[in-house]
Every structure is written in C-alpha cells, then in structure tokens.
Amino acid sequence: MEPAFLLYAALVITATFILIFHFIPLYGQTHIMVYIGVCSLVGSLTVMSVKALGIAIKLTLSGMNQLIFPQTWAFTLVVTACVLTQMNYLNKALDTFNTAVVSPIYYVMFTTFTIVASVIMFKDWDRQSPTQVITEICGFVTILSGTFLLHKTKDMADGLQTSPSIRLAKHSEEDGFDDGEGIPLRRQESMRST
C-alpha cells in the first residue's frame, strides 16, 4: 500500500463526502460541477481499484492465488461502491443539466483525476523517460483543448444561428422599417391616417 496513494484516497473520500452532504443539497440543481465533481473523484478511485483487481485476477489465473488476501476483497468492495456512486451522480447530472455540457466536463475532470491517481499509485512516470512524459502531457493537453474547442464551437454555432435575426430586428428598428418589409414606419403611419 503506497502511503501517497492512501493520502490521495483519503482526500478524495473526504472531498466526496463534503460535496455529497454539504454542496449537493445547496448547489446540486444549479452548479454542474458539484455532481460532476463527485463522479470524477469517485471515478478515479474506481479506475485504480479496477486496475488493482485486474492484477489480482491475473495473478490468480497464473497460479498465485490472490483470493486469500483481504486486499483483493477490499478492492472488490471499493469497485462496487464506487461504480454505484459514480453512476448515481452521473445520472443525476444528466437529468439536471444538458448532456452536451455534462459529457465534456465529466470527460476532462475524470481523465485528469485518473491520471493523477495512476501516477501516484502505480508510479507510471518513474519508468518513463522525460520525453515520454512530456509527450503524454502534450497529448493530454491536446485532448483537453479539443474537448474545450468542440464545446465552444457548438456554442458559437448556436449563437450564429440566432444573431442574424437579432441584427435584422435591430437594423429595422434603427432604420425605421417594420419587420424588414421595407416600408418606413412614418410612411405606414401616414398611410393608416388616410
């Protein structure tokens, strides 16, 4: 058991309980980051537990029985609890907020916390050269940037669809035209009086 990972797990569990019992009742319906924060934090523990459980199963199948160790069963319980918690709050986020907003934010936060947990628990970067680490960081930043740009481009496309009608309405009011029909308001009023 890695002390740094135990500290990370304790911080994640503490932050999760604070989010669930304090922030969700207050801000769950208005702030998307509350539900997604719970999902992402718990998700990072889920991935680490699944990886550890997978290693235990692999060792058991190769002849070194891991089912006799309490850690294997502890990871099984952690996987079950984390998956249930994660799915519960992800469904609440999807019920409350737009899927197009939930998905990219959840993807970015989940990936970030999972990478941090993996680096702490399995020391993935200790066995890699600095070039490999920098390449992975660049790839991660590229993915984050792409997710952000896809989300922002969607918002920009929505804004462009509504902006011509807004511009047309503003110009027709400023120029004295009614609904773009090309008839000046003053002329319409004089036509009505006759």
- Per-residue confidence of the chain (194 residues) as pLDDT tens digits? 678 888 999 999 999 999 999 999 999 999 989 999 999 999 999 998 998 899 999 999 998 988 899 989 998 999 999 999 999 999 999 999 988 888 888 988 999 999 888 888 877 777 888 899 899 889 989 988 888 787 777 656 555 554 444 444 444 454 454 444 444 444 444 455 55
| Domain termination residue (choose one: 127, 155, 175) | 127
Q: Which of 127, 151, 176 is the last residue of a domain?
A: 127
- Do 101 and 62 sit in the same domain of this protein? yes
**What's the maximum distance between 2 C-alpha atoms anywhere in the chain?**
101
What residues pair up with 184 in beta bridges, in sequence order?
Answer: 177
Whole-angstrom distance, CA of residue 134 vs CA of residue 73: 36
pLDDT at residue 187 in the model: 46
137 and 86, same structural domain? Answer: no
Which residue range is the domain that position 190 belongs to? Answer: 128-194
Asked if residue 90 and residue 104 are part of one domain, the reply reads yes
Same domain, 116 and 133: no
Q: How far apart are CA 161 and CA 36, in angstroms?
A: 29
Q: Cα–Cα distance between 59 and 159 in angstroms, integer?
A: 55
Q: 166 with 111, same domain?
A: no
Structural domain total, the chain: 2
pLDDT for position 172: 47
The pLDDT score that the predictor gives to residue 143 is 86
CA angle 107, 105, 36 (to 5 degrees): 90
Residue 24 identity: I
Report the interhelical angle of 32-61 vs 3-18 (nearest 10°). Answer: 140
**122, two tokens:** 């399995």
Q: Quick one: 115 and 190 in the same domain?
A: no
Burial of 92: CB neighbours in 10 Å, binned 0-12, 13-18, 19+? middle
Residue 7: burial class (beta carbons within 10 Å; 0-12, 13-18, 19+): exposed
Boundary-marking domain end, from 127, 157, 176: 127
Query: Looking at the structure, do residues 121 and 132 belong to the same domain, yes or no?
Result: no
Q: Are residues 34 and 104 in the same domain?
A: yes
- Distance (Å, rounded) from C-alpha 35 to C-alpha 80? 19
pLDDT of residue 170: 47
